[in-house]
Structure 1
């Protein structure tokens, strides 16, 4: 298909077109805590309403700060988003011979203003060979500075021994908000309005999901299907998501039954986020 003009008799037919499968109106909003939106609920809201409450995909914890670089303090972590709240889930292990106390954490300025929303509370001294799990709530109202790469987060952790620094990359889907579903007319107008040079196309390989399974999985991480069409045997999902800082990303996901690769086209007024949104799609669809 190459860089075909998606609007060439394509997207326009989403509004009342013959190819569009008119969805039933869902009786239950996918996320009771979120605004119900324009009522243009789609086929997939009903199937994955429960999935939304279970939260976005969470990667397994990885070691962010090895003990040998932090005088015996080892930090592993991951990021979670659940019903509108972002957390940094940490595991602190004391591999030193002395007790650790007086913990504190600070983030450098970053692209999306991520900042701790509470102090790092380790309620008891951390004895040698002891591990403690902490869920640190995060806000997105911290100081903003564009990082390279965009999702880089630089962190300082202090204890009674010293101050230690590490950096990690957070997955962009923790920033996808619960009210990121655009109505169809707005989607069409916005897609036409964003310049073609802002469109990026990616291949997602080894993804044997059908359109319904893909849509359901993506919705649980706040990527919403606005409309669905079938064109010459290919399922086309038109999707929207919104970042915590208000940036909208529009997507077309093309799935051909029997073909394990699908094509993702993204349009956004801030095209530098597209690569990271693609990585989020790949992570969510493959896990």
Structure 2
């Protein structure tokens, strides 16, 4: 990870730590609403919207393809450029029938992390090429980093304590989360749904402190401290340290 850690929340963690709601607010992995990634006006009538999910260790790109042209679309294929975590399609883009004008189709495209790696700016930038019988079209999107949080990211307590102290200051970043209406236990449950695990909890001078760990698909660990003020839920402090 870069020594400048000013980007974690802006690189997809912002949605995850939006502790006020979202799909799977109290259970399951957070799923952002679908967004338009490729407008029809830029792709000769093909509109693509989508989001990303992680369920039971499997990453997927959830797509909606819409034909807003006057001709039938067929022969679809998809390819990713090299990216920071090696995200790549794990199967071909399966559109089983030609897409007629004004027709939409929903597709769940499985992904893996064994593709070619190249550091992107920002880290979670993904460049995509989609082909059909009309042309090849390109778009880029930002994937939420929590789809890369693996299920065995709970660090052993003693290792967490030792590691937290050893991480240098340049690998630390602090953020403030506004309008958090959940208490410490509800926050812990919600984040565990996205493989952010609570290692310890304590109360210091009226503040609830949650110490948490997560591990990315490439083996990098991230440790976090959440400071929650029960009397003032408008502000929750987050400190992140990256190994």
Per the normalisation by structure 2, the TM-score is: 0.88
Greater percentage in strand: 2
4+ long deviations beyond 3 Å? none
- Number of residue-to-residue matches in the alignment: 218
| CA offset digits 1:135-181 (Å, max 9, x no partner) | 00000010000001110000000000000000000010110111100
2:199 aligned to which of 208, 220, 226: 226
Q: 2:71 aligns with which of 90, 98, 102?
A: 98
Task: Flag the structure with higher helix content.
Answer: 1
Pick aligned residue for 1:110 from 73, 78, 83: 83
2:210 aligned with 1:242? no
Aligned to 2:241: 267
SS in 2 for 1:96: coil
**Aligned pairs (5 A) from 1:6-21:** none
Q: CA deviation at 1:251?
A: 0.5
| 1:204 CA drift (Å) | 0.5
Find the counterpart in structure 2 of residue 156 from structure 1.
129
The answer as to whether partners of 1:208 and 1:258 remain within 8 angstroms in 2 is no
CA contact (8 A) 2:28 2:190 kept: no
1:185 aligns with 2:158: yes
Residue 57, structure 1, aligned to residue 57, structure 2 = no
Aligned counterpart, 2:55:
82
- Matches of 1:195 and 1:164, distance apart in 2: 43
- Structure label with greater radius of gyration: 1
Deviations 1:176-234 (A, max 9, x none): 11110001101011111211232111110111211001111111011000000111110
| SS class of match (1:100) | coil
Return the alpha-carbon distance in structure 2 between the equivalents of residues 149 and 182 of structure 1. Answer: 27
Output the TM-score relative to the length of structure 1.
0.75
Which structure 2 segments of 5+ residues have no match?
1-23
Q: Find the counterpart in structure 1 of residue 39 from structure 2.
A: 66
Distance 1:204 1:212 in 2: 17
Q: Structure 2: how far apart are the matches of 1:178 and 1:163?
A: 36
Instruction: Give ranges in structure 1 of 5+ residues lacking alignment.
Output: 1-50, 270-287
Q: Distance in 2 between matches of 1:103 and 1:235?
A: 51
Q: Deviations over 1:2-26 (max 9, x none)?
A: xxxxxxxxxxxxxxxxxxxxxxxxx
CA distance in 1, matches of 2:217, 2:129: 24
1:266 deviates by 0.8
1:101 is paired with a residue whose SS is coil
Supply the RMSD in Å over aligned alpha carbons: 1.2
Structure 1 equivalent of residue 147 of structure 2? 174
